[in-house]
Amino acid sequence: MRARRRPPSPMGAQSVIPLQPTTVPSPQFSMPWRACAAGALAAAVGFACSSDRTDLQGPDPLPGGPRGVLSLAASTFALSADSVAVGGSVVISVVPRDGTGVPLGPGQPVTLDLTGGSSNGRLGSVAFFTWDSSYRVRYTGDAAGSPLTVRARIAGAPLPRVATLRVQAPPPPVWTFCSNTGEVCTFTGTRDVRLVAPGGVTHVQEFTGTVPCAPSGYARGFTKAPGAAYTRCEHGELKVEELTNAMPGMSGMDAPVLHVPRGDRGVATRFVRSSGDVPSAPMGEGSFRMTCTLAKMDFFDPIVYPGQPKASHLHMFFGNVAITPSSTSSSLTSSGTGTCSGGTVNRTGYWVPALFDVRTSDIIPPDFATIYYKTGYNVDPATITDIPEGLVMIAGDKANVGRVQEKNKLDVALWACGTAASTNTGAVPSCPVGDIVTLLINFPQCWDGRRLDSPDHQSHMAYPVYRNPPERSTCPSSHPVMVPIITEIFTWPVTTGMSSQFWRLTSDMYSVGTRGGYSAHADWMNGWEPTFLRSIVTNCLKPGRDCFVNLLGDGRELY
């Protein structure tokens, strides 16, 4: 039983030429993917729930009244829930409208009054959301008590509708069955996982993505579990942390404070062992693949904006947990814990823009990343050379809008659903609940032989001239050195209540009316121990052998 999951297929990558978001949107929009408020609150805020609406429109325009002039009667006001647990939060939403019901847009002085009652909590700052022209405020509960009365004001004048809000005691932790003992427990993100035995005996530890459901015997598994007849594993809720939005409003992500998934702590040692598995006879194309869990999310990019914190759009980082705005290939190789198979053997930095829901600014939690090192489409394996130490590069065009990204008939960025049929249009596909959204990025594999970086972080590399058999794909004369092609595959599960048609990359700097995902790109900063990366090239790629998952081709494997 292994903790690491087998990565997905590369989808033919080589074969084809100040506001905290909430998980509950404001109910006045009748959003069917979240529960609407009911009872007294529904009457107080004056909206109707509808289970079959899929639009994001506000209430029907009211008759009469001047256009472009604030109408308190037409303006809408709602809470995402009428109660909140201590430590939890609720979103209060106000949409100033004119007499015809049309939203008035940004620049409206919106304030809130919370009076009466003994509930205690904190209001965040008001933020304007471009998507629906709403002003939203997050209220966080601090102490339970009796209901508060909530009133909204625009330019100091109160809206006629009022609502109530109560802070309640926190509910008990929610535990979800994951697997029986002797199996592998898998989940998204970082969570507490517990072993459960009859009689109420439990043992809890924090893991990211996966763990063998067994009390001992696995390097990436439970430790120091007391002796008991454990029968199953259960996981807790996704762990998140607050992150100030360094660029509120950019790309349509309007919330001033974000909830981002907590990353893996990584491991501080090599995870290499003897496996006895040696690849069979050459297959014609050499390959090696491994998985990495999320290391962190933050607003920096050590390649594009070295030494400048909060200068970039929000990225998801995989690999080296210690990566910072000032990281270099040398610093990654020599320090930090690793979240990839092999631990500190591969402290490379792999990163990509984060995905978020444009309606709410909710960050979409990623699953693991799968990294491929291959010889490339119809490339002579014997021509593959070692990746130079210190190499950094970027693949994809963050300024792209409205087109599929490809080079020499190879998809540079490929969006797809995990199982549902989808066509790569360059944008995030609409994948059903229970499926996954997948982004594949193919890096260039022709090096100029001189530079480890370039001003645009791309021109020192190039894509091969791809040819079909019997001819071979070759590098252009300007970039004559053939290195392995690196493919980074990122996945996001589509869970209940999600709709991927509203997802955008944090690098999508174009209109929110255009589908998200066109700006897909990814970064790679070498952090491998050179001898191990050389083993992959020597034992797997140059001989044209398939080393499957984590095999080094010499009887050893990463884990």
User: pTM of this prediction?
Assistant: 0.86
Give the per-residue pLDDT at 413. Answer: 98
Is the pLDDT confidence value at 252 over 80? yes
Distance in angstroms (rounded) separating the CA atoms of residues 118 and 115 = 9
Give the per-residue pLDDT at 66. Answer: 75
Is the pLDDT confidence value at 12 over 60? no
Beta bridge partners of 406: 411
By mean pLDDT, which of 10-14, 133-137, 384-388, 425-429 is the weakest? 10-14
Is the pLDDT confidence value at 23 over 70? no
Residue 63, class by beta-carbon neighbours within 10 Å (0-12 exposed, 13-18 middle, 19+ buried)? exposed
User: Across the chain, which distance is largest between two alpha carbons, in Å?
Assistant: 81
Residue in the structure block whose two tokens are 């939005």:
245
Q: Residue range 324-348: average pLDDT?
A: 98
Is the pLDDT confidence value at 424 over 60? yes
Q: Residue range 489-516: average pLDDT?
A: 97
Beta bridge partners of 191: 207
Which residues neighbour 287 within 8 Å (Cβ) at sequence distance 6 or greater?
372, 373, 374, 375, 540, 541, 546, 547
Give the per-residue pLDDT at 529. Answer: 98
Q: What is the pLDDT of residues 108-153, one digit of tens each?
A: 999 999 999 999 999 999 999 999 999 999 999 999 999 999 999 9
Is the pLDDT confidence value at 19 over 70? no
Which residues neighbour 381 within 8 Å (Cβ) at sequence distance 6 or greater?
282, 284, 285, 286, 375, 541, 542, 543, 544
CB 528 within 8 A of CB 345: yes
Is the pLDDT confidence value at 39 over 80? no
Higher pLDDT, 479 or 22: 479
Number of other CB atoms surrounding residue 518 within 10 Å: 26
CB 505 within 8 A of CB 315: no
Where does the pLDDT of residue 32 fall: very low under 50, low under 70, confident under 90, or very high at 90 and above?
A: very low
CB 429 within 8 A of CB 444: no
Q: Which secondary-structure segment (H or E) carries 291?
A: strand 287-292
Is the pLDDT confidence value at 33 over 60? no
Q: Residue range 331-354: average pLDDT?
A: 98
Q: Which domains does the chain have, with CATH numbers?
A: 27-168 (2.60.40.10), 176-235 (no CATH), 271-558 (no CATH)
Rounded to whole angstroms, what are the CA distances from 170 to 65, 167, 174, 294? 45, 9, 11, 29
CB 354 within 8 A of CB 315: yes
Q: Residue range 271-300: average pLDDT?
A: 93
Q: Residue range 196-205: average pLDDT?
A: 94
Give the per-residue pLDDT at 65. Answer: 63
Q: Residue range 524-547: average pLDDT?
A: 97
CB burial of 366-390 (b: ≥16 within 10 Å; e: otherwise) equals bbbbbbbbbbbbbbebebbebbbee
Give the per-residue pLDDT at 16. Answer: 28
Is the pLDDT confidence value at 2 over 60? no
Average model confidence (pLDDT) for the chain?
89
Q: What percent of the chain has pLDDT over 70?
A: 88
Q: Residue 379: phi, psi to the nearest 5?
A: -90, 140
